[in-house]
Chains A and B, each alone.
Chain A
Amino acid sequence: QQQVKQSPQSLIVQKGGISIINCAYENTAFDYFPWYQQFPGKGPALLIAIRPDVSEKKEGRFTISFNKSAKQFSLHIMDSQPGDSATYFCAGRGMDSSYKLIFGSGTRLLVRP
């Protein structure tokens, strides 16, 4: 069964610090790994994504690092801001006919001013 495990469950970071969220997946039948940001009362919004043939992707303050051999990937948020306070979900996209997303359990990030 495809699973994505995410840690930590919650994270508190000072403004300007680096937030790091880690995910690991349990089989190789994923072809795309997106990260979503979710604010209370809203649906998840795509933040950044990576394909498994790439080891790192950077977009502004957000970077994904991907280790295919270890089946692990992580999100780094540089210069974290109070506006980044939200719940973050990693996911893997399955390669069956539905291309469904398998989500991690989420990380609640609080950035203190």
Chain B
Amino acid sequence: EAEVAQSPRYKITEKSQAVAFWCDPISGHATLYWYRQILGQGPELLVQFQDESVVDDSQLPKDRFSAERLKGVDSTLKIQPAELGDSAMYLCASSPGVAVYNEQFFGPGTRLTVL
């Protein structure tokens, strides 16, 4: 069964360091999402791609976060510099992108701890 892949699964870093997360969506899925889930809260959308274009990055803290999906397939989310408040689970999801298709498929996430 096709799955969304993410790496690394766990990342521990010190404040002010740079970190990067990788996501490989299900093959053929045009839409890719990055979410942040803080403990005790639901996932919150950071950025959405349609193919290689950003559709929504209104909740992305652009002073320190960046995301790219250069060839419209896999994607990287970067934080530089990391802050203590960035400790969270970072989830990637994908969907076929068809207008009437509502389900998003999630990867296992990357658990980030900033010390």
B is bound to A: no
Q: B interface vs A, CB < 8 Å?
A: none
